[in-house]
Amino acid sequence: MGESDSNSEAFSEPSSLVDKKEAQSILPSGGTLEQNRQSSPSTSTQKDSPQEEEEEEENPKRMSIFEAVSRGDLTTLSNLLTNCKTDVNTIDTNGDTALLHAVARVFDKDGWDARYFQCIHVLMSCEKMKVNMPNRNGYTAIGLAVLHRNRSYIERILQHPSAKRLHLDYYPERNESTMREIIMQKYPGLESLLPAPLMESLDSSDRDIKLLAALQHDKYDIFIENLDSENPNPSYDEPYYSSLLEIACQMKNCKQFVELLLDRGADPNIMNRVTGMPLLHATARSGNFEVLEILLKRQNLVLGLKDNKGRTILHWWARVCERNQGDKERLENCFKRLLQRGVCCQVGIDCKDKWGITPLCTAIVCKNRDRVIMLLRNGADVTAFECFDPILQSCSTSVLEDILDYCLESNNGPANSEHLMVTLRYRTIEKMLFLAEVPHHKHILRHPAFSVFLNLTWKRTMKLFFSLNVAFYVMFLTFLNAYIFHSESVVTPSHRSVANNTNSLLTFNDSLMTSGMKDATWYNTSQALWYFLMILLVLLCMREAFQLFVYHWRYIKSLENWLEFLLIIVTFTSCSGILDSIETNRHLSVIAILLGWFELVLLLGRLPQLSVQMEMFKTVSLTFLRFMAGYIVLVVAFAFSFYLLFKGTAEVDNAVYFDNPFTSLMRTIIMFAGEFDVSDLPFDTLPGTSHVIFLLFVFFVAIVLLNLLNGLAVGDTGKVREDAEILSLVARARLISNAFEVFDTLPQFMTRSLELTEEMFVLYPNRPNQLGTTELRSLLRIITKKRKPSEKEKSIEHLENWSLFTEQLSTLQLQYEEMRKILMKILTHLDIQEP
């Protein structure tokens, strides 16, 4: 790639671009089409002498002009250019000339390489070189330099003696500005170096050139005189590489020229012979919307034409900017005319280009909200384009609201009628569930279409699915607790001798005999609980493995899934008997019970009803941890101070509080929570110092820090309460999204009863239903808002029809007056008196 503007100034000046004598001997040919035609290169197949032909046969592997440019071999390149058999304008498989190839090679390198710029200089100095030949993307040599934003190379190209031959008034690729406008906008300092626009001579002897000159000089009379009916649309080579109609359609204020060319038989379906861009697309790109309307009125126009990137006229219509006053109305008229001409039947409103982009996607990316609404109104599907997720993540909230508005469709019933039926396009909303994980788009879940979809899907499908999942886990947790508690009824803390022995069957039987609790019923119950627990544990492992298969990296990144993984390991280790130490098993059993119940809390926190409380818990916990990370040093300082002050002297119930630094830290943390036992602290060991340090602890930690954290917790809780509705909707969206991923993986017969159907999302807002009053009012408000533009369009259509009627009536009146005058003349001529 090319260097940036900031780096281009750091390039070192090449010592010598070309020899001065060579530069003087190779003079530029000039800047007009006629002069360029006179200096056209000879064909590469022409042989000057038999000796040269023999030399070519003897050296078939002679280096080509592209190889010389790629290697930066200036000597070989100069020899090839002086050889009359070399076609300097030949193109490679990518459609690039040697000059384009040299410019591209410059930006493939890192840093300045004088060899390639010398190649560019030599090629531009060659009279035969077509310096304005574009590549398949419509970029010339100067265009490529501008594309890569290398100011240094642009300046050097413009300072070249042949720069006056450069044609800068063309539209490169997707740009809606000419190359001249782009350079003036990006590099104002280079404006003085820009060559003047190329203008052909009106005195030219060539009729085609004179025709183009008349167009450039706005000489309509001369244009009519020289227009040939047999060839109404001549094509031009260097420097334009376009037909006359293409040039006229992209020039400003050439409406009458275009109409004349079309009336004389010029084909409106022509495509550029180099770039393959249809005339309709090029006209839209140039922003010449008046001419675009003229083209759309032509009956022989083919709307299904695509450019070399697979883009239709709808793609270009969706992306062009409104530059002048009245462009918005002209674009709306163009879209209406496209619909009237059946563009949706020919190419489809959701037609995709080679990258899978639809016109609606183009309009969203270009932030053309009015055109987004027009496309949605005519049935465009927002989920049709492939880069669906990133496009919607980056678009504005207003555009998302418009998209969701058109996910609601209604019949023609009145807004207050019982027969009003609203249908929800649930497939579109289903694919937009990922917005629940986008922080700046969470509020879009409040949209009636989204909230109604989530509520109906939860009540009619997902509630059962989630309830089964919770029931399974509660069953597992019940058997886990039952087995552990049943096992602990034998091994009590008093049996230290048993705990230190192995966990063999003999030791287990000895413990039963010692405690007097050897009972067959107890043993059978323990075995039954163990078998059921192992079965449920295997099922839990299968569930987690299936989730890993479905969610992939999202499963690994989730802390809750790691918690479940740890629970499985601890449960299996503590209950399988693979460890010999009963004491170790008891440690693991305690951890298993804690993890099991904590996982149940997180699982129930996914419920919409409990999502707010769980979010409060998470938010406050993270706030405490985040702030305590900065203040933990203060707590450690007081803990070590208390250890030195009260070491071995503070005892309560034979327990030493500050026996070592670790217990001192634990006790200080408990004191931080507000648990003070001042009467048990021996302040007389180091009087004065102990009192001062303890008072400092009370002030800085117990009063200031504790109240600070409490205040932060209250603030976080208030924010969570404000977003309670959104959090509930986010919880439902996550559950539904995860469930849909599972359904897509399972066989269809297993999920047939859980699939969404259109009948689920057909609503009658004015009849008794499961929706709340607020949601119903919101639905009716959106339906009413969507009907207003239609009514406005109908009124405009009525006005247009009335205007047409009055215009026709005026025409009839004029015809009547003319007929009456003619009749009066006839009567006067016949000398007949008017009755």
pLDDT band at 61 (very low <50, low <70, confident <90, very high): very low
DSSP reduced 3-state for 408: strand
Residues 598 and 490 in one domain: yes
Residues 309 and 449 in one domain: no
User: Between 656 and 297, where is the model more confident?
Assistant: 297
Residues 167 and 215 in one domain: no
Residues 427 and 541 in one domain: yes
Q: Which domain holds residue 705?
A: 614-722
Residue 166 belongs to a domain with what CATH number? 1.25.40.20
Residues 620 and 542 in one domain: no
Q: Is the pLDDT of residue 4 over 60?
A: no
State the DSSP string of 620-648: HHHHHHHHHHHHHHHHHHHHHHHHHHHTT
Per-residue pLDDT, averaged over 3-8, amounts to 37
pLDDT of residue 156: 84
User: Between 245 and 412, where is the model more confident?
Assistant: 245
Q: Which residue in the block uniquely carries the two structure tokens 């008046």?
A: 290
pLDDT of residue 43: 33
Q: Is the pLDDT of residue 768 over 90?
A: no
pLDDT of residue 636: 86
pLDDT of residue 299: 87
Q: Is the pLDDT of residue 548 over 50?
A: yes
What is the CB neighbour count within 10 angstroms for residue 219? 15
User: Between 121 and 817, where is the model more confident?
Assistant: 121
Strand partners, 656: 651
Q: Is the pLDDT of residue 544 over 70?
A: yes
pLDDT band at 212 (very low <50, low <70, confident <90, very high): very high
Distance CA 227, CA 221 (A): 10
Q: Is the pLDDT of residue 52 over 80?
A: no
User: Model confidence over 788-800: pLDDT tens digits?
Assistant: 754 444 444 444 4
Residues 535 and 672 in one domain: no
Q: Is the pLDDT of residue 514 over 60?
A: no
Residues 63 and 149 in one domain: yes
pLDDT band at 245 (very low <50, low <70, confident <90, very high): very high
At a CB cut-off of 8 Å and minimum separation 6, what does 341 contact?
296, 301, 303
pLDDT of residue 677: 65
pLDDT band at 279 (very low <50, low <70, confident <90, very high): very high
Residue 196 lies in a domain: no
Q: How far is CA 105 from the centre of its chain?
A: 31
Q: What percent of the chain has pLDDT over 90?
A: 10
Choose the final residue of a domain: 582, 604, 626.
604
Per-residue pLDDT, averaged over 218-222, amounts to 90
Q: Is the pLDDT of residue 589 over 70?
A: yes
Residue 779 lies in a domain: no
pLDDT winner (highest mean) among 171-185, 479-493, 611-625: 171-185
pLDDT of residue 508: 45
Averaged pLDDT of the chain: 78
State the DSSP string of 70-102: HHT-HHHHHHHHHSTT--TT---TTS--HHHHH
Per-residue pLDDT, averaged over 192-196, amounts to 90
Residues 629 and 654 in one domain: yes
Q: Is the pLDDT of residue 44 over 80?
A: no
Choose the final residue of a domain: 359, 384, 407.
407
**Domain total for the chain?**
5
pLDDT winner (highest mean) among 157-171, 417-431, 759-773: 157-171
Tell me the C-alpha to C-alpha distance, in Å, between residue 743 and each of 458, 462, 557, 752, 786: 15, 11, 22, 9, 34
Distance CA 282, CA 288 (A): 9
User: Model confidence over 614-665: pLDDT tens digits?
Assistant: 878 887 888 788 887 778 888 888 888 888 887 766 555 555 567 778 878 8
pLDDT winner (highest mean) among 58-62, 582-586, 587-591, 756-760: 587-591
pLDDT winner (highest mean) among 504-513, 530-539, 601-610: 530-539
Choose the final residue of a domain: 407, 426, 441.
407
Q: Is the pLDDT of residue 7 over 50?
A: no
Tell me the C-alpha to C-alpha distance, in Å, between residue 764 and each of 8, 131, 416, 461, 571: 65, 68, 11, 20, 51
At a CB cut-off of 8 Å and minimum separation 6, what does 233 contact?
243, 244, 245, 261, 265, 266, 267, 270
Residue 761 lies in a domain: no
Residues 435 and 548 in one domain: yes
Residues in the chain: 835
Residues 245 and 345 in one domain: yes
User: Taking the CA atoms of the chain, what radius of gyration do you get in angstroms?
Assistant: 42
Distance CA 480, CA 486 (A): 10
Per-residue pLDDT, averaged over 224-234, amounts to 86
DSSP reduced 3-state for 434: helix
pLDDT of residue 244: 92
> Could you tell me if 5 and 105 are in contact, meaning their C-beta atoms sit under 8 angstroms apart?
no
Per-residue pLDDT, averaged over 703-709, amounts to 82
Q: Which residue in the block uniquely carries the two structure tokens 């399988």?
A: 576
Q: How far is CA 389 from the centre of its chain?
A: 6
Residues 131 and 102 in one domain: yes
Residue 741 lies in a domain: no
Residues 401 and 415 in one domain: no
Residue 760 lies in a domain: no
Q: Is the pLDDT of residue 51 over 70?
A: no
pLDDT of residue 28: 32
Residue 525 lies in a domain: yes
Residue 809 lies in a domain: yes
pLDDT of residue 675: 67
Q: Is the pLDDT of residue 707 over 90?
A: no
Q: Is the pLDDT of residue 317 over 80?
A: yes
Per-residue pLDDT, averaged over 711-719, amounts to 78
Tell me the C-alpha to C-alpha distance, in Å, between residue 484 and each of 23, 512, 573, 598: 95, 16, 12, 17
Per-residue pLDDT, averaged over 199-208, amounts to 89
pLDDT of residue 47: 38
Per-residue pLDDT, averaged over 748-762, amounts to 75
Q: Is the pLDDT of residue 323 over 50?
A: yes
For Cα atoms 221, 224, 230, give the angle at the middle one, nearest 5 degrees.
170
Distance CA 516, CA 513 (A): 5
Lowest mean per-residue pLDDT among 30-39, 437-446, 713-722, 823-832: 30-39
Residue 328 lies in a domain: yes
Distance CA 178, CA 183 (A): 9
